[in-house]
Amino acid sequence: MQRQWLDAVHSACGARDPREMNPLQMAYIGDTIHDLYVRSMLITQGTSVGAMHRQAVRMVSAFAQARMLEAIERELTPEEADIARRGRNAQAKHAAPKHADPADYAHATGLEALWGYLYVTGRTRRLEELISMALLRTEDIWLRRRSK
């Protein structure tokens, strides 16, 4: 019973052509997926909850997500690159937050759309591979920013 909703999401979205999926809906779920993976990684570091929260805030920012997308762009399949591009170009009904650069915010939406797409189509191995790669390739940013 508990997995029925997840199975329903996968079957409903997986049966559709990815070009027909709304990139903002994919980004909506992708945002949560990104946050979950970041927090899951941070919990293994054995620091205080406050320190983990401060680090998570930095790692889920538009700036951070834009750098992550840049770090993995060359590894994306043409289909994945298209999803990220569609997410990046999607026009949300709201403006970027005041503290976020609009270009970074657009790229972050592209990354979130990619995460959401991989999730709803059941490509969790690829999702984990790309998230791990993105986090690893941008780790120097988090180490530098943590000391500020």
Q: Which of 33, 3, 26 is nearest to 82 (CA)?
A: 26
- Helices H / strands E in the chain, number of each: 8, 0
31 included as an active-site residue:
yes
16 by DSSP, 3-state: which?
coil
Of 7, 17, 31, 82, the catalytic one is 31
CA-CA distance, 5 to 9, in Å (whole number)?
Answer: 6
Q: Which residues are catalytic?
A: 31
